[in-house]
Structure 1
């Protein structure tokens, strides 16, 4: 098992955000986290990437405990985090933003830049442009590209389609599938539950910091609770 969380509890002061959370991500699979705003999805990703510390429970990567490892050292272990809102460096160029993703190891920079530009040709066209002047979709491409520059084994993606035009969303999901096809595991938080479940192998549904449902994507897509709450289907019986 690549990543495992067991009975993880996280709090913001007196407010408990995650309660006994357990989940797993295996090598080379896509797993999605579903849930309403405030369910604990972003907190889960931030805890895995070391930005938050658990109050209880265990996080392990390849069986190695993660709870005491600094966030910047997790990159060297193969974990990359693409946060909600992109968080690109606005005054730095596209190229400089991408190079920040490779700050720990510059041995394969040219090869990795070529890979990112193959996935996102638009970034190659804007290589000298400041990150803050890019469109929202281009900034999302840049954020994902920056994460890939560290050659991760696991990418944490937080709401990659938020606020983007449908055509751009399609591109982003195609790239996620391609990244995964290359052997990178993905833990995906996504408001577009239908799209997330179509590319993921498994999923977990969170409510108020707890897993209330889990299973294969096919089983979740056919579950009435998921269909009504996250896929927008009206299952009210017709009189």
Structure 2
């Protein structure tokens, strides 16, 4: 998709919320290959921000850099205005960033309850209220709390991965392709739960192949191409843009 860069837009009719996460001119490399070429974006407190792009555009790399799994060669990562690039991923968990990776990555030989408790490792002991919250959001996990994680269905493992991240009390939750490989009814359920998580006060930065679902949930969105941001706007504006609809929703542009 070829497009001219568009300026970032504030949500219609409202002032932009204070910035929770800022990525400024990030350049990230895998060896000699530059994966991010000056990526800049902002996630405001309480927002849902969608990050769209084709495979290989740099979406997962962006999340991994934001969560400290990758270090930028140049550029800055700021949390509440303070630089956190160079801080390790486990330290960023302490600062309130949770990451649900692509492919779920549950601990396959641990039970559901043990997986969830691992999400609260930064706390001296898990807060029973956090466990209750997860079981309320995902009743199936309560039913299967003694089941081995690796024996769950794909949708149940995705719920477990999200629940595990919530156990760390994140202020910002990074989600990488939460609908990948899941049946449509499960995808609908996952997105309804993400909406509820955001309504409860958790900010979301979402990488998602299902552009329609992502933009329906999001306040704003960014589009990445080959490691660069090429578009940014309100979610409704992006969803109505014929270039987005052609590239990600399979519609023809006359």
TM-score, scaled relative to structure 2: 0.92
Deviation (angstroms), 1:232: 1.1
Deviation (angstroms), 1:68: 1.5
Contact residue 99 and residue 109 of structure 1 kept, 8 A: no
Deviation (angstroms), 1:109: 2.2
Aligned equivalent of 1:23? 41
Aligned equivalent of 2:236? 218
> How many Å separate the matches in 2 of 1:27 and 1:107?
27
Given the alignment of the two structures, is residue 169 of structure 1 paired with residue 187 of structure 2, yes or no? yes
Aligned equivalent of 1:199? 217
> How many Å separate the matches in 1 of 2:151 and 2:168?
24
Q: Give aligned pairs, total.
A: 236
Deviation (angstroms), 1:107: 4.7
TM-score, scaled relative to structure 1: 0.97
After TM superposition, the runs of 4+ consecutive aligned structure 1 residues lying more than 3 A away are none
Contact residue 27 and residue 185 of structure 1 kept, 8 A: yes
Instruction: Indicate the RMSD between aligned Cα atoms, in angstroms.
Output: 0.8
Given the alignment of the two structures, is residue 153 of structure 1 paired with residue 171 of structure 2, yes or no? yes
Given the alignment of the two structures, is residue 182 of structure 1 paired with residue 177 of structure 2, yes or no? no
Given the alignment of the two structures, is residue 43 of structure 1 paired with residue 43 of structure 2, yes or no? no
> How many Å separate the matches in 2 of 1:57 and 1:68?
11
The answer to which of 107-116 and 185-194 deviates more is 107-116
SS at match of 1:2: strand
Contact residue 48 and residue 204 of structure 2 kept, 8 A: yes
Gapped runs of 5+ residues in structure 2?
1-18
> How many Å separate the matches in 2 of 1:73 and 1:34?
27
* Per-residue deviation, residues 85-112 of structure 1 (Å, max 9, x unmatched): 0000000000000000001114552111
* Per-residue deviation, residues 176-204 of structure 1 (Å, max 9, x unmatched): 10010011100000000000000100000
Contact residue 51 and residue 205 of structure 2 kept, 8 A: yes
